[in-house]
Amino acid sequence: MVGFIGKGRTSYEDATEDGKEYFYKVAALKDTSRIFSQTTLPVLSSIQWFDSGSTVLFLAMIIFSVIIIFFIMQVRKRKKLFIRKIAGLDAVDDAVGRATEMGKPVLYVIGIGTMSNIASIASINILAEVAKKTGQYGTPLIVPHSDPIVYTVARETVKESYASIGRPDLFDSDKVFFVTQSQFAYAAAIDGIMVRDKPAANFLIGWFRAESLIIAETGALSGAIQIAGTDSVSQLPFFVTACDYTIIGEELYAASAYLSREPMLLSAIKGEDIGKIVILAALGIASIIGLLTRFPILNIFS
């Protein structure tokens, strides 16, 4: 006996060795009675090149790839792609400009996430664009960190951003620094920077936890313009309350393409958006079919 299934079950999965023949038969049990089915013909398992259970995933991959390639071709034909306005990202120029006019620094906080957090990766991409803008105006940029790996990546990102605009001399390694991995000690250090240096613009973009409100409130009291962004749903209400602009959820992931206006990145964003529409349409059609097959009065598919 290789297995037992209870009443109402119609299938059973057996672990087999490839290249070995197997014969099966089913025994139906009731009380002490046992009735056997006919023995099956020999079955032989072998390694497959294609997993038929992943057919839907394969088709989805093909569809999304075609959509993205289509938009890439559109970009190469110099056609403009429409991306809806995101207020928080449109305000980046205003925030940096305000700091420049006031002669004060810009503070960029990535949060307490590691490089395994998608929000931290997205924040690094935004930092690159902010560093380019501050470099163009010669505005000091302060970037404190709570994770040593994120610090290393951010340091090289800022350095490369200054070099890309032809101002490598503006990079100050003392302005991009590691503070501590302790959550609230990190928050206290940022609050201290806000109080002492009084930056005119605060960017709070990345992955945050309970320290988000502490930092955002201090920044609001200091009078700085604040642009926040995170994919942490539990922290979004605090940023919405205490900050001037909040980048919500997937807006964070699209930010680097939005700010840089890089054609290839924009085409990928457009492809993903169309892919979401296709998924929603498929779910809607499946829901309608499910309703029609569930109720006999509307069952037009029977």
**Strand pairing partners for 108?**
203
> How long is the chain?
302
Question: Is the distance from CB of 255 to CB of 125 less than 8 angstroms?
Answer: yes
148 shares its domain with 136: yes
- Cβ(243)–Cβ(216) below 8 Å: yes
Q: Same domain, yes or no, for 213 and 67?
A: no
Q: How far is Cα 212 from Cα 146, in angstroms, rounded to an integer?
A: 14
pLDDT for the residue numbered 2: 87
DSSP assignment of 50-96 equals S-GGGHHHHHHHHHHHHHHHHHHHHHHTTPPPP----HHHHHHHHHH
The runs of H, that is alpha helices, within the chain are 55-76, 87-102, 118-137, 148-164, 183-197, 211-221, 236-242, 255-260, 263-294
Of 34, 59, 79, which one is at a domain's C-terminal end? 79
- The per-residue pLDDT for 299 is 52
Position 302 scores a pLDDT of 52
pLDDT per residue, tens digit, the chain (302 aa), is 888 888 878 888 888 888 899 999 998 888 888 888 899 999 888 888 887 778 888 888 888 888 888 888 887 777 777 777 888 888 888 999 999 999 999 999 999 999 998 899 989 989 999 999 999 999 999 999 999 999 999 999 999 999 999 999 989 989 999 999 999 999 999 999 999 999 999 999 999 999 999 999 999 999 999 999 998 889 999 999 999 999 987 888 888 778 777 777 788 888 888 888 888 998 999 898 888 877 655 555 55
Number of domains in the chain: 3
What is residue 251's predicted lDDT score, i.e. its pLDDT?
83
Residue type, 42: P
What's the pLDDT score for residue 262?
76
DSSP assignment of 191-206 equals: HHHHHHH--SEEEEEE
What is the residue range of 258's domain? Answer: 87-263
Whether residue 73 is found in the same domain as residue 104:
no
Residue 63 shares a structural domain with residue 156:
no
- Same domain? For 215 and 109 the reply is yes
Lookup: tokens for 32: 């002490």
CA neighbours closer than 13 Å in the CB half-sphere of residue 40 = 10
**pLDDT (tens digit per residue) in 210-261:** 999 999 999 999 999 999 999 888 999 999 999 999 998 788 888 877 877 7
Beta bridge partners of 36: 27
97 and 236 share one domain:
yes
